[in-house]
Amino acid sequence: MILLFAACGLLAAFTIHLLWWRIKRPAQATVVLIFIFFALPLIIVPILFYIFQWQDFYYADATRIVLLYISCAFVYIILYSAIAMQSPTLAIFDAILQKNEKGYESEALKQFIGVDDEIDKRLQSMQQGGWLDYLHSKWTLSIKGKRMAAVFEYGARFFGLGKGG
């Protein structure tokens, strides 16, 4: 029953997301996805309670449904970014895969992946997202960016990770 509830909720949210994207892809996709996946249960669950008049309701069971639904929703939201923007690692693998037994020449692969303007592309998209400010030819963190940088900096120190990238 718990599996069924969570699966139905996720399926309903996914269907709305799919229809929305087919009509018009939103600029801030992640924010809209979070809204769809988390607003939907807030609307549907009270309606279900009203229709079925649930009496034998257990809070522990509700916790299990909520935990399963939220965790799966977050997994999808995380995976969505890998769907929308191809991971460079997968792009490299896919490019070599397409060449099959002939192999991909090292220099040609580097050119095909097009790493030369990668930094500029990322900086511009981060500015559009409100993470960075660009003033007098210099990049600085916006207030939103500072908060996010602090989360990842402390996270990296706490979990014993390197610099990344």
Q: Which among 14-22, 38-46, 48-56 is the span making contact with another protein, rule CB under 8 A?
A: 14-22
Classify residue 145 as left (phi > 0), alpha (psi -120 to 50) or beta. alpha
The two three-digit tokens of residue 158, written as one number: 């706490």
Q: Which among 35-43, 47-55, 76-84 is the span making contact with another protein, rule CB under 8 A?
A: 76-84
- Interface residues for another protein in 44-73 (CB under 8 A)? 58, 60-61, 63-64, 67-68, 71-72
Question: CA-CA distance, 150 to 127, in Å (whole number)?
Answer: 18
131 lies in the binding site for another protein (CB under 8 A): yes
Q: How far is CA 79 from the centre of its chain?
A: 5
Question: Shortest approach of another protein to residue 39 CB, angstroms?
Answer: 19
Of the candidate residues 96, 128, 130, 143, the single one contacting another protein (CB under 8 A): 96
11 lies in the binding site for another protein (CB under 8 A): no
User: How far apart, in Å, are the Cα atoms of 45 and each of 56, 70, 127?
Assistant: 15, 14, 38
Question: CA-CA distance, 41 to 13, in Å (whole number)?
Answer: 9
Question: Shortest approach of another protein to residue 54 CB, angstroms?
Answer: 14
Provide the mask over 134-153, with x wherever binding to another protein is found by CB under 8 A and - wherever it is not. -x-xxxxx---xx-xxx-xx
Q: How far is CA 21 from the centre of its chain?
A: 15
Question: Shortest approach of another protein to residue 102 CB, angstroms?
Answer: 8
Question: CA-CA distance, 93 to 4, in Å (whole number)?
Answer: 37
Residue at 69: amino acid letter: Y
Compare residues 54 and 105 and give the one whose CB is closer to another protein: 105
